[in-house]
Amino acid sequence: MRAGSPRLLREINDRAAIEALLRNGPLTRAELEGIIGLSKPATAQLLTRLEEDGTVLRTGLRGGGRGPRAQLWTVNGALAHVAAVDLTPDSIDIAIADISGATLTEHRAPMPKTGVLEAFHSAVTKATTQAGLTTDVLNHVVVGSPGAVDPATGLLNYAPHMPGWENKNIPEELEALLTTSVTVENDVNLVALEEMIAGRAQGVKDFVLLWPADAVGAAVVVNGVLIRGATGGAGEIDAMQVPDHAHADTGTQRTGSRYGDLMASPAIARLARMHGVSARTGQDAVAKALSEGPAGREFLVDLARRVATCAANVISVLDPGLVLLSGDIAQAGGTTLADLVAAELRHLVVPRTPVRLALVTGKPVRSGALHSALSVVREEVFGLPAATTEPFRGPQQGAASSSAP
């Protein structure tokens, strides 16, 4: 055996133990032993070694049964901290977490139309203060935003609805504000990442995630890798010109309209009214249609025609193994809308691609940002391998990897 091999084996075993603790939460020595496959003495030595260097901590006891309670071990969360941010034209939604993945605090603040950098800095500062930290101890920040950052310039493209953020090298300026490394990632890309980690895309190598709502977007994953394109604009389908295949005439350009205009909330509500379903927003219209009988069904079929018209273009080029529908409109329509989109696609494309409702709900953008940030710091601190999604971190730094916790 080569000199140095025992040390290498210890490092491999240490990483396996850390990864098991991060994935499963607090474990007893016996539980950890079963997961990583070491002997009882070797596992005990490993835990002692990791405790002495501050990597793991004792955290209570596990009871139950007639025997003595067993010591629990966990990763020392204080080793690093991250911030995950969901940035929209109207708000900034922040979560602060430690390296174990434990969320320390959440904070949401309005996003003004001017002074956006100052508002961003103020919101992140308040969130870190709530967590008992300061921004200079954040090891990494991931920001999910509409549009896409051009890797050559750092400018936010494809996002005219984000006033105040234009003509800025956003990663560079945010890093200067927070004095830490910052990843800026497209919001829908982060949702796709979250579906790969905790949703319906687990184990799916090729899929497309569509966000058919205001500021329509898509994420494309090929062979397990998120595709961004030369300027970061892969999946920016909002401006794609598509015909309106809805049977009800709502005054659109029937031969070709901007897809985002067809899928905006007012446009969906207008289409619903043409079918006798009255609602204030597109989301309300879709939810109401599910209980409106034939009129509601006709509206949902027409809406599915609009969704499918754009999806067909993507499917014809990529032939993915799965199409996921995400966002408020998709969740409001549920499996009914997904099934109707699949039925419409059978008239438009040869591949019989399954269409499913995305599984991750709640705050999928922020959740994806959190997993991405944790992946970066876990690679830096523990040497754990990261996935190949590589979110953009700014021209001066190159790409950083992201993965599940």
**CATH code where residue 155 lies:** 3.30.420.40
Residues 145 and 130 in one domain: yes
Residues 295 and 218 in one domain: yes
As a whole number of angstroms, the distance between CA 199 and CA 357 comes to 10
Residues 353 and 372 in one domain: no
> Is 117 within a domain?
yes
- Average pLDDT across the chain, whole number: 91
In the chain, what percentage of residues exceed pLDDT 90?
83
Categorize the per-residue pLDDT at 67 as very low, low, confident or very high, splitting at 50, 70 and 90.
low
Q: Which residue has the higher pLDDT, 138 or 401?
A: 138
The mean pLDDT of 307-311, rounded to a whole number, is: 94
> Is 340 within a domain?
yes
As a whole number of angstroms, the distance between CA 391 and CA 233 comes to 13
Answer yes or no: are the C-beta atoms of 193 and 202 closer than 8 Å: no
Residue 382 reports pLDDT greater than 60: yes
> Is 393 within a domain?
no
Question: Which helix (H) or strand (E) segment is 74 a member of?
Answer: strand 70-75
Supply 51's token pair: 């405790």
Query: Using one digit for the tens of pLDDT, what is the confidence trace for 185-222?
Result: 999 999 999 999 999 999 999 999 999 987 789 999 99
> Is 109 within a domain?
yes
Residue 375 reports pLDDT greater than 60: yes
Range 141-180 burial, b when 16+ CB lie within 10 A, else e: bbbbbbbbbbbebbbbebbeebebbeebbbbbbbbebbeb
Question: Which helix (H) or strand (E) segment is 181 a member of?
Answer: strand 181-186
CB proximity list for 395: less than 8 A, separation 6 or greater: 151, 152, 153, 154, 169, 171, 172
Give the CATH number for residue 45. 1.10.10.10
> Is 59 within a domain?
yes
- The DSSP annotation for 320-389 comes to -SEEEE-SHHHHHHHHHHHHHHHHHHTTT-SS---EEE-S--SSHHHHHHHHHHHHHHHHHHH----BB-
Supply 41's token pair: 């003495």
Residues 230 and 326 in one domain: yes
Residues 167 and 231 in one domain: no
Among candidate residues 75, 104, 126, the one where a domain is terminated:
75
Residues 154 and 302 in one domain: no
Q: Whole-prediction pTM value? A: 0.89
Residues 167 and 25 in one domain: no
Residues 286 and 339 in one domain: yes
As a whole number of angstroms, the distance between CA 290 and CA 133 comes to 47
Residues 308 and 180 in one domain: no
Domain range spanning residue 341? 200-357
As a whole number of angstroms, the distance between CA 229 and CA 322 comes to 20
The mean pLDDT of 8-27, rounded to a whole number, is: 93
Among candidate residues 50, 75, 100, the one where a domain is terminated:
75
Please count the CA atoms within 13 angstroms of the CA of 198 that sit on its side-chain side: 18
Residue 392 reports pLDDT greater than 80: no
Residues 228 and 140 in one domain: no
As a whole number of angstroms, the distance between CA 71 and CA 80 comes to 24
Per-residue model confidence (pLDDT) at position 64: 64
CB proximity list for 46: less than 8 A, separation 6 or greater: 10, 13, 14, 17, 38
Q: To which residue do tokens 């079929």 refer?
A: 301
In the chain, what percentage of residues exceed pLDDT 70?
93
Supply 39's token pair: 């002997």
Residues 115 and 101 in one domain: yes
Per-residue model confidence (pLDDT) at position 395: 32
Query: Using one digit for the tens of pLDDT, what is the confidence trace for 20-41?
Result: 999 999 999 999 999 999 999 9
CB proximity list for 340: less than 8 A, separation 6 or greater: 300, 301, 303, 304, 333
Among candidate residues 75, 100, 133, the one where a domain is terminated:
75
Residue 405 reports pLDDT greater than 70: no
Query: How many domains in the chain?
Result: 3
> Is 234 within a domain?
yes
Categorize the per-residue pLDDT at 256 as very low, low, confident or very high, splitting at 50, 70 and 90.
confident
As a whole number of angstroms, the distance between CA 245 and CA 352 comes to 20
Residues 236 and 353 in one domain: yes
Answer yes or no: are the C-beta atoms of 279 and 295 closer than 8 Å: no
> Is 23 within a domain?
yes
Residue 298 reports pLDDT greater than 90: yes
> Is 103 within a domain?
yes
**Pure H helices in 212-292:** 259-263, 265-274, 282-289
